[in-house]
Chain A
C-alpha cells in the first residue's frame, strides 16, 4: 500500500457541468481564473482572467479575491481576503470549491462545525474546552481492551497498553504502543508503530500512515476495531 503521509490540504473542485476532482494544496499560491496562466483554469466568461487565489501562510490558508468582476464568496458571504477553514465552500460564479484541511493543528480553533442537535446527544466529557466537538470514535469488535467504545478526543490517540493510551489494550502481551490515530482538523489518520507486527486497515497492510474513513476496519496487536466518523461534513457520493 503506498504510504500517504501528512497530507496537505485539498480543494474539492466541482466546476459547473463537470465532474468532481481534487487538487492538493501543496504550493504556497494557487491561482484561479479564466486565463491559461492560472493554476486552476475555469473557462467561463463570468470568471475573471485572474479571479482569485489561495495563499498558504505557515500553517493556514487564505482565499483572496483579485478584484474580480463578479466577486468570490465563502459559504455564501462575499469576501476580499479571508482565512479558509475546513469544509468552507468557495463560490466563483456557478463553480464550487470545497476547502478540506488535513494539515496539523491550526492555531485558531476551527470554526466548529457544530450541529446543535448532535451536540446535545454527546456526553459532557466529549466536549473538550479547546478542541473541536467530538467527531469520531472507535468501536471494539474483538480483542482485549478496557472498554468497548472509545471517543477520539485527543490530537494523538494511542492504541496500546501504556498508561494514558486512548484505546487501552489489556492483553498480556499487548505492546505499549501498537498504533496511533491522529486528528488534524476534522480528518483522522492511523499510523503504524514499531510496537506492533502489522497494522491492517480493511484487510490491507498499512506501512506508515493512512487516512481513515467512516466504517474502516482496523486490525492491530490482536484487536479488531471499527472507526466511526460522526461528523456529517464528509463527502457522500450521490
Chain B
C-alpha cells in the first residue's frame, strides 16, 4: 500500500489457513493507515508503546501504528475459529521531510537504492536469520533449509509486539523497495537492482519483479512497493502549496 499524502508505504504478508492470511494483512494495512491519518488530525493522539528517543516523533508514530495493527489483528484472530492463529508480517516506511522512518516485524524487507547500489536496511525476523546471527548456519544452508519460511515475529499472534524501528536521511534520486519474502527468496539483489536502474515506469518495474519472483518459484502472492523519491520529495512541497491556496 502506498499513501503519498501521508508519506506512508507498507507491505504486509499474511499467514493463516484459508483466506485468514489475506484478512490479517488487509486489517493490518488499514489499521496502520488509519492510525497515522488520525495522528495527522489529532497530534496529541496517545502513542501505543514506549517512546524511542533515538528516533523522531513521526518514527515513533509509525511504530505506534504498527502496534495498533497488532491489536486489531490479534483481536480478530479470536473472533472466529477459522481466524485462529492468523498473523502478518509488516515492513513500513514513513517519509517526513527528507528523513525516512523504517519499521518492520517479520521477514518482509526494505531496500534502499542509491547511486547504483542496493542495500537491505532491515534484517529478517526469521528462524534462519537468527540461526545465521548466532553463527549456527551459513547463508547457503539457510536458503536450502526446510525451516526458511518460519518467522519469529509477526503481527497478531500475541497481544503485544516488538517493532524494530530505525531512521535514515534520504534524498531526491533515492529509490525505496518494500517487498515480501516471495521476492527476496528467489531473486538476487543484483537482479533487483538491475530492474530498478532501468528507465521503465514504476508499475512496469514492479510487474517485472513479481514475474521474476514467480519464475523463481515464488508463492504467487509476492507484494512489492517501489517508491522513487525524486517525485515524492517534490510532491511534498506541491501538496503543501496546494493546501495554502485552496480554500
Contacts and interface: CB of A to CB of B under 8 A. Distances in A.
B149 interface: no
A81 to B, nearest CB: 4
B54 A155 contact: yes
B135 interface: yes
Contacts of B115: 3, 5
Interface in A65-95: 79-83
B98 A177 contact: yes
A64 B54 contact: no
Interface string A129-141: 0110000000000
Given A156-B167, A182-B169, A62 B135 contact: yes
Nearest to B170: A191
Main SS at interface, chain A: loop
Interface in B45-96: 52-57
B132 A155 contact: no
A205 interface: no
Interface residues of B, number: 35
B139 interface: yes
B94 to A, nearest CB: 12
Nearest to B102: A105
A154 B55 CA distance: 5
Contacts of B123: 57-60, 106-107
Interface string B94-137: 00011100000000010010110101111110000100110100
A40 to B, nearest CB: 20
A130 B122 contact: no
Contacts of B114: 5-6
A164 B132 CA distance: 37
10 contacts: A6-B117, A58-B109, A58-B123, A103-B119, A104-B121, A156-B55, A164-B57, A177-B98, A180-B169, A195-B97
Interface of A: 3, 5-6, 8, 26, 55, 57-60, 62, 64, 79-83, 103-108, 128, 130-131, 153-156, 158, 162-164, 176-177, 180, 182, 191, 193-195, 208-209
